Structure 1
Amino acid sequence: MSSPSSQSVRHRGGQNKKRGEKADVDGDVNGNADHSTAPSSHAKASKDNAVTSDWDYKLALAIITIAALATRFWGITHPDQVVFDEVHFGKFASLYLQRSYFFDVHPPFGKLLFAFAGWLVGYNGEFLFENIGDSYITNRVPYVAYRSMPALMGSFTVSTVFLIMWESGYSLPASILAAGLLLFDNAHIGQTRLILLDASLVFAMALSLLCYVRFYKLRHVPFSRKWWKWLLLTGVSLSCVISTKYVGSFTFFSIGVPVLIDLWDLLNINRRQGALSLPDFGRHFGARVFGLIMIPFFFYLFWFQVHFSILTRSGPGDEFMSPEFQETLSDNLMAQKAVSIDYFDAITMRHKETKVYLHSHTDKYPLRYEDGRISSQGQQVTGYPHNDTNNHWQIIPTRENAQGPGHRVKNGDIVRFRHLITDQILLTHDVASPYYPTNQEFTAVPADVGNGDRFNDTLFEIRIENGKPGQEFKTVSSHFKLVHFPTKVAMWTHTKPLPDWAFKQAEINGNKNIQQSSNVWFVEDIPSIAADSDRLKKDVKKTKQLPFLRKYFELQRAMFYHNNALTSSHPYASFPVQWPFLLRGVSFWTENDTKRQIYFLGNPIGWWLASSILAVFAGIIGADQVSQRRGVDALDRRTRSRLYNSTGFFFLTWAAHYLPFFIMGRQLFLHHYLPAHLCSALVTGALVEFIFNNEPPVEEEVEQSVSSSSRKKKGENLVHSQIRPIRERIGSQSLLMTWAATGAILIVVLWSFLFFAPLTYGQPGLTVEQVVSRKWLNYDLHFAK
């Protein structure tokens, strides 16, 4: 799989493309200067017809682009309400325009594009997209400008797919078929006419493939201006992919594999084009590292710098960041609310990730858990999501650190906690917690027990995150870990609720992995503090500065943590095994009064065809490998080279954008398959051409059509003159068959697109009978009764 593009130029039916002229300059479309099987008269004919060779491709590209714009922009004003995840990405655009800090698990590039669209039309971001169904008209939101951005990119994605096939040397019907599968695909249309990130992701991914194909075709004129141009454009496109979503790393892998194979070939001292010296190989290696790694990485960092430069005000994302980060934001509430904590203060402690309060009540742990393990039957210590007096804990000093009221608690202090309502002392010990046999149970014991033999078990060390020795312990701003002094476990909680015996509250236990980031807590409030306390008096603080890389790495840690934490169930989540077969979709929007709905669903006929073709391709490769092992050579060299290198590259890209989802533990939805579906459309166009291409290799034609004696008598030039009509006749038949197959497929795909279009566009409304007729497989449509 050393090449992403075709290994030969087929001139079917006598259509000599301008590509033939390119082949004379660069070799073939991949730069392989090998014309041993091509008659010189055929090459001359290519040059003679070069002037008019590309008009059909250009005309098809123009028609496809216009059709793509029409399908993406038709009815884009409907619905004039917030739809599905527009609540997130529309909100982020508004927060950019307000310059208020927010947090999201995706990189900033795609969201910045939406903010740019809003800025272009003079919008100030007043509307925050709080709820699905909120009116854009009432709130005067320029939602058409927002939606036009992804609609444009979605339209140009179709054109880019056509260009990928064209540049890879495929016939016009094969190029139209691949583009047509995207042109009339309901999923790509539905996802690219709303304020969502996938349009920019898929468009940048398609551009990356196109630019790399163009770059690879110039590999025999290295370091030329065009060679550098397409190398750098490939890097910039890759940067846009990964700067939109981190699944863009799959595109890096797709292009990285053929790049490494190409470099391995360049290292070969016996390569046909001549051996490279090690310094020359080093230049090739360095150029690719610069263009495909360094350039994407620096552009990727650039968008984060833009992100931080715009978001300078306090906003809803503050709580995801460290106190040091929050102090770089103007009007930050954390800096305003931070109060020093004294010994004997009553405080409320809250878990940073789950936001539950440290809580206790008089109920005890059961004697035995469901799995038969025995508890201590001590007082329950749990996590409770609501503010309550049972969340109040008094922080008291140890005997060795006997401090009276008015003395500050500091980083590194060994302290104890008394539950005020039950007068019990917080304790953890070597008893397994309810859900985690490896973690310690947290409980509370009476004061006389806690002050007696169990005293050491009640000692906890306060470790402020990134805190300095002796730093004051404060509310809100001091994010800390509470580490049990004797056993060195950290107080921790998680999202799985306890059974009914604990009122489905959160489990609190001692985590042996102290370094785990989810061990962090903060003090939310001091209920016992006097209203006139000097500690409540605040001086106006100036915003601080942090180095870019420190802010970047902190944000990365938070992004990856919260992305991996998206494991909860969702009614429309689906598994990767369901995607190629389009077993179910996602409900985006409904309107009960008119019985209209938007249901995210691909074109079933197109998806099933593409998935079947993927299996056919794997079968062809397997059969060819077996036949070669048995000495049967069913394919000529050029056909096999194209099948393995060009179509194989598309298949590799499909696998790279699909298979990794099987090892992910986060929530997954049908839209995650869109990049892989684009690749399956490329494979479909390429393989349909392969199946209906019956043009035999030149050697077979000579053997079958002209006897060896005739060759001796008439000479090779006369032989070629006899072969050319045969080639043209067979090529014309192959082209007609490919056109017929393409036409038949696209007619059925168009019917399927129109049939499901009311669910894609949200109009017109359907009757119950019409909805029921579209409930294929597991499509959970609304208004079916």
Structure 2
Amino acid sequence: MASPQNSVRQRPSAKDKKRATTPQPDGLTNGSASENIESLKQGAKEAVKNDSEYKLALGVITALAFLTRFWGISHPNQVVFDEVHFGKFASYYLQRTYFFDVHPPFGKLLFAFAGWLVGYNGEFLFENIGDSYITNKVPYVAYRSMPALMGSLTVSTVFWIMWESGYSLPACIVAASLMLFDNAHIGQTRLILLDATLVLFMATSILCYIRFYKLRHDPFSRKWWKWLLLTGISMSCVISTKYVGAFTFFSIGVPVMIDLWELLDVNRRRGALSLPDFGKHLTARIIGLIIVPFLMYLFWFQVHFAILNRSGPGDDFMTPEFQETLSDNLMTQQAVGIDYFDNIAMRHKETKVYLHSHPDKYPLRYDDGRVSSQGQQVTGYPHNDTNNLWQIIPSVAMEGYGHPVKNGDVVRFRHLVTDTWLLSHDVASPFYPTNQEFTTVPGEDAQGDRFNDTCFELRLENGKPDQQFKTMASHFKLIHFPTRVAMWTHTTPLPDWAYKQAEINGNKNIQQSSNVWFVEEIPGIPEDSPRLTKEEKKTKSMPFMKKYLELQRAMFYHNNALTSSHPYASFPLQWPFLLRGVSFWTENDTRQQIYFLGNPIGWWFASSILAVFAGILGADQLSLRRGVDALDQRTRSRLYDSTGFFFLLWAAHYIPFFIMGRQLFLHHYLPAHLASCLVAGAVVEFIFNIEPADISNLTITDGKTGSKQQRAARSRPIRERIAGQSLLPTWAAAGVIVSVLAWSFWFFAPLTYGKPGLSIDQVLARKWLNYDLHFAK
């Protein structure tokens, strides 16, 4: 939308009034044919000139974006920060080796595609930060070029968003420059990391939705469908890269719902829609913005499963049934059927501790004053030991040996070293008073009154009735038969009286996924035992949706479990003010370092503009309450609908982090920062692209009285946009902003590009907010 222009108004003659009543085609006046043709030609020339200026600016900004992202991309030629993860995942894809990660596969598949394009086989596994790419012959520049390309296109997309939203050229340049000269976006998009993919497709989602919304008066046309589907596809790529892409769905979903609500209004200006027509609009949006994105999201998981068909480090996160779909799986190759009276070592699936016992007793009283049973300690021990061996005994009499243990059997366990029997009872456990204590009792007690307390139901995960219990391949829950609690452990160690080993207790929530155990080995089986004879096993199949749902559960569980502290973790409140960054890489000999940090001036400017925008909205609402209409309708519409949409984007991509319990870093703010750049460009235009008009024209009323002409006067602006001269302040403001941004970017560039090395004084000069930079002394 172009800014409205003032024109010299004269009192119309009677002839002019008559002309004005005759409707004319768009762009024509009621003058002569030659006047109309000349008017159209002049308008076309102005439009072409205007588009040419925007295209030239877009070309220059795009070229600068490529320059800033690709310059010196080969440095350093070592593994940097989280390249140890995402480079490794690309290698696993190329080797077709199954791995586990908390993020969806799309962004990682792009890195694998880059490696495949240059013929790399994935031999290097990115084990340690600082490992040499040159020595290991890794095409790391090809890997890094993928996010650098996306980061460059993101800058262009930001400019395009502002252009399509109808903002002036200076406003477009300000918004794009905040991204162009931002050290954080540059640093994050020059390395093998996922954020460049996330931020680019977030930006394209916004652009495509704006293009779709501009076609709202031409529904169901080919272009309307194209931009609707492109919006959905872009959003799908966002959430297929990281689950925080759900914030983008929310950001676009809100205006879509508002639009649908307006379409439902029978009093809408363009005529009421019939319910069948409204149903078509609703169905189209459900298809384009929900169904198509979800199918694309599933597609990338299908590709993920199809490529990763070999056993790998991700096996342990999956169920035995899933692992049987992978070739070369050790679990299926080493599985041995378990018989009664076998000696077994049981291990917790998540913490990997062994079920363990030793002669020491629980203390009489715990630190909180509770009294224990003073029974023999049962703990979780991380190392293989003879005290980890338990003999599995049937709960009913059996003659001879060779009876297989099956799913659903009620069993008992005898601790071999101490000749005591595993037991749980209604006594509070040491660490969790709400859970039951696990202990052992002597044989005479286990065969007498306490027999039932030593009985446990063996429940195989996804097991079938009478399915045989096997080592490695059978994940199981051990349910105490009388009290129905599940044997469980956790990572918080017991005190010194238990040698800081893990607590074993009875969990009342038997459905909890962390109750799962497996048998690692059966020591002492004769080598000639037929049970050790391995048959060649074929990989099994598993329905896609079952694999997908299992992986989703594991991903969400482990993502929420990322709560441990990290030296460079930061809180959301620190991000808009850029209070600290992240050390990515250092080299002591050359004093070079890569420190992840945004452009401080750019971030502070964008953050302050967010506050200014909130103040403008508050002042406008307060003025309206007092009967003062300070803005014309077009300006207010732009302020609330367009800039307000950008502000919603920022809030939706920022505020949810306050309720997250997982580790958080500065890079989580990058999508919100992009939205703040859009707000900044829009507010700069609002502030500088207007001039005062005659204040005497302002009419103040109580909003209820007055003639039709007086009521219409309430919408008369105090300030109007004036073409030509009014852009001069905007250009001046844009010039100052871009110049300062460019200087700040250049000043912090050695920390972004990792070169050149800085002296102590140069490092200290860049510790603006006590950034924890290296080599400061």
TM-score higher than 0.5: yes
What are the residue-to-residue correspondences of 1:461-500 with 2, within 5 Å?
461-500=457-496
Paired AA for residue 9 in structure 1: A
Structure 2 CA distance for aligned equivalents of residues 376 and 34 of structure 1: 92
Q: Is the 8 A contact 2:86 2:193 kept in 1?
A: yes
2:89 counterpart of 1:96? no
Structure 1 position 500, deviation (Å): 2.5
Write the deviation string for residues 424-472 of structure 1: whole angstroms up to 9, x where unpaired.
Answer: 2111111222222211111222222222222211111100001011111
Structure 1 position 635, deviation (Å): 1.3
Structure 2 vs 1, CA of residues 362 and 756 (structure 1 numbering), >3 Å: closer, same or farther?
A: farther
* 1:759 counterpart residue number: 751
* 1:54 counterpart residue number: 51
Q: Is the 8 A contact 1:695 1:731 kept in 2?
A: no
Q: Is the 8 A contact 2:27 2:40 kept in 1?
A: no
Structure 1 position 495, deviation (Å): 1.8
Structure 1 position 532, deviation (Å): 2.6
Q: Is the 8 A contact 2:344 2:520 kept in 1?
A: yes
Q: Is the 8 A contact 2:690 2:720 kept in 1?
A: no
Structure 1 CA distance for aligned equivalents of residues 607 and 565 of structure 2: 27
Structure 2 vs 1, CA of residues 736 and 460 (structure 1 numbering), >3 Å: closer, same or farther?
A: same
* 1:130 counterpart residue number: 127
Structure 1 position 584, deviation (Å): 1.1
Write the deviation string for residues 225-257 of structure 1: whole angstroms up to 9, x where unpaired.
Answer: 111110111011011001111110100000000
Q: Is the 8 A contact 1:590 1:598 kept in 2?
A: yes
Q: Is the 8 A contact 1:12 1:735 kept in 2?
A: no
* 207, 220, 239: which one aligns with 1:223: 220
Structure 1 position 362, deviation (Å): 2.3
2:591 counterpart of 1:595? yes
- Higher mean alpha-carbon deviation, 403-412 vs 170-179, is at 403-412
Structure 2 CA distance for aligned equivalents of residues 70 and 234 of structure 1: 29
2:182 counterpart of 1:190? no
Paired AA for residue 736 in structure 2: A
2:408 counterpart of 1:423? no
* 2:291 counterpart residue number: 294
Paired AA for residue 582 in structure 1: L
* 2:728 counterpart residue number: 736
Q: Is the 8 A contact 2:424 2:480 kept in 1?
A: yes
Q: Is the 8 A contact 1:13 1:735 kept in 2?
A: no
* 1:540 counterpart residue number: 536
* 2:761 counterpart residue number: 769
Structure 1 CA distance for aligned equivalents of residues 27 and 298 of structure 2: 43
Q: Is the 8 A contact 2:632 2:720 kept in 1?
A: no
Give the 4+ runs in structure 1 shifted more than 3 A: 11-14, 33-36, 40-48, 401-404, 700-704, 730-733
Structure 2 CA distance for aligned equivalents of residues 42 and 420 of structure 1: 100
2:112 counterpart of 1:115? yes
Structure 2 vs 1, CA of residues 334 and 740 (structure 1 numbering), >3 Å: closer, same or farther?
A: same
* 651, 655, 670: which one aligns with 2:651: 655
What are the residue-to-residue correspondences of 1:242-641 with 2, within 5 Å?
242-398=239-395, 400-402=396-398, 404-641=400-637
Structure 1 CA distance for aligned equivalents of residues 566 and 371 of structure 2: 34
Structure 1 CA distance for aligned equivalents of residues 171 and 534 of structure 2: 71
Q: Is the 8 A contact 2:343 2:523 kept in 1?
A: yes
Paired AA for residue 533 in structure 2: K
Structure 1 position 778, deviation (Å): 4.3
Give the secondary structure class of the aligned counterpart of 2:327.
coil
Write the deviation string for residues 111-136 of structure 1: whole angstroms up to 9, x where unpaired.
Answer: 11001000000001111111111111
Give the secondary structure class of the aligned counterpart of 1:732.
coil
Structure 2 CA distance for aligned equivalents of residues 187 and 62 of structure 1: 22
Structure 2 vs 1, CA of residues 266 and 292 (structure 1 numbering), >3 Å: closer, same or farther?
A: same
Paired AA for residue 2 in structure 2: V
Q: Which runs of 5+ in 2 are unaligned?
A: 8-25, 30-35, 699-715
Paired AA for residue 270 in structure 1: N
Q: How many residue pairs end up in the alignment?
A: 733
Structure 2 vs 1, CA of residues 639 and 583 (structure 1 numbering), >3 Å: closer, same or farther?
A: same
Please provide the CA RMSD for this pair.
2.2
Give the secondary structure class of the aligned counterpart of 2:724.
helix
* 1:30 counterpart residue number: none
Structure 2 CA distance for aligned equivalents of residues 454 and 380 of structure 1: 17
Give the secondary structure class of the aligned counterpart of 2:437.
strand
Q: Is the 8 A contact 1:347 1:528 kept in 2?
A: no
Structure 2 CA distance for aligned equivalents of residues 574 and 42 of structure 1: 59
Structure 2 CA distance for aligned equivalents of residues 594 and 618 of structure 1: 46
Q: Which runs of 5+ in 1 are unaligned?
A: 1-7, 15-32, 705-722
Write the deviation string for residues 166-210 of structure 1: whole angstroms up to 9, x where unpaired.
Answer: 000011111111110111111111110100111001000000000
Structure 1 position 382, deviation (Å): 1.5
Structure 2 CA distance for aligned equivalents of residues 188 and 571 of structure 1: 21
Q: Is the 8 A contact 1:13 1:732 kept in 2?
A: no
Structure 2 vs 1, CA of residues 611 and 458 (structure 1 numbering), >3 Å: closer, same or farther?
A: same
Structure 2 CA distance for aligned equivalents of residues 388 and 588 of structure 1: 40
Structure 1 CA distance for aligned equivalents of residues 436 and 139 of structure 2: 54
Structure 1 CA distance for aligned equivalents of residues 196 and 757 of structure 2: 26
Structure 2 CA distance for aligned equivalents of residues 593 and 367 of structure 1: 58
- Higher mean alpha-carbon deviation, 425-434 vs 336-345, is at 425-434
* 2:3 counterpart residue number: 10
Question: Equivalent pairs: percent with the same residue?
Answer: 78
Q: Is the 8 A contact 1:692 1:737 kept in 2?
A: yes
Structure 1 position 732, deviation (Å): 3.3
Write the deviation string for residues 619-639 of structure 1: whole angstroms up to 9, x where unpaired.
Answer: 211221122112121111111
* 2:681 counterpart residue number: 685
Structure 1 CA distance for aligned equivalents of residues 311 and 116 of structure 2: 20
Structure 1 position 307, deviation (Å): 0.8
Q: Is the 8 A contact 1:343 1:404 kept in 2?
A: no
Structure 1 position 12, deviation (Å): 7.1
Structure 1 position 260, deviation (Å): 0.2
* 1:65 counterpart residue number: 62
Paired AA for residue 562 in structure 2: L
Structure 1 CA distance for aligned equivalents of residues 766 and 144 of structure 2: 27
Structure 1 CA distance for aligned equivalents of residues 691 and 424 of structure 2: 79
* 1:232 counterpart residue number: 229
Q: Is the 8 A contact 2:344 2:519 kept in 1?
A: yes
Paired AA for residue 319 in structure 1: D
Paired AA for residue 249 in structure 1: A
Q: Is the 8 A contact 2:194 2:241 kept in 1?
A: yes
What are the residue-to-residue correspondences of 1:696-735 with 2, within 5 Å?
703=697, 730-735=722-727
Structure 2 vs 1, CA of residues 410 and 442 (structure 1 numbering), >3 Å: closer, same or farther?
A: same
Structure 2 CA distance for aligned equivalents of residues 405 and 674 of structure 1: 64
Structure 2 vs 1, CA of residues 576 and 403 (structure 1 numbering), >3 Å: closer, same or farther?
A: farther
Q: Which has the higher contact order (CA 8 A, sep 6+)?
A: 1
Structure 2 CA distance for aligned equivalents of residues 370 and 581 of structure 1: 44
Structure 1 position 618, deviation (Å): 1.2
Structure 1 CA distance for aligned equivalents of residues 720 and 413 of structure 2: 90
Structure 2 CA distance for aligned equivalents of residues 734 and 504 of structure 1: 73
Give the secondary structure class of the aligned counterpart of 1:531.
coil
Structure 2 CA distance for aligned equivalents of residues 274 and 13 of structure 1: 31
